[in-house]
Amino acid sequence: MPKLYSSSDIVKVLQKRGFVYISQKGSHVKLRKTGNPTLTVIVPAGRKEIPSGTFKSILRQASLSQDDFGQKPASR
């Protein structure tokens, strides 16, 4: 079974990859990376575990692979 990431884990990794927090509306966070092309990613906020299909969609939006996420961060 694939590793499940929390919303905060995903946002932290995206920010390390150059994405910048733009806004939050309701239960979704918008992050953007400028460049050619400009990438915008929407991440569900406040979720302990993001479903694998949603995670794969976030990866596609961000033009990243699962390898870019590396090891799952340790829980605090």
Domains and CATH numbers, the chain: 7-64 (3.30.920.30)
CA atoms of 74 and 76, how far apart (whole Å): 6
pLDDT in tens, 16-67: 999 999 999 999 999 999 988 999 999 999 888 999 899 999 999 999 988 8
Give CA angle at 70 (65, 73), nearest 5°. 130
User: The tokens of 2 are what?
Assistant: 């694939």
The token pair at 47 is 């979720």
Considering the entire predicted model, what is its pTM?
A: 0.82
Q: In whole angstroms, what is the distance from residue 76 CA to residue 73 CA? A: 9
For residue 71, CA distances in Å to 2, 8, 18, 21 come to: 11, 15, 19, 23
Q: How many residues does the structure list for the chain?
A: 76
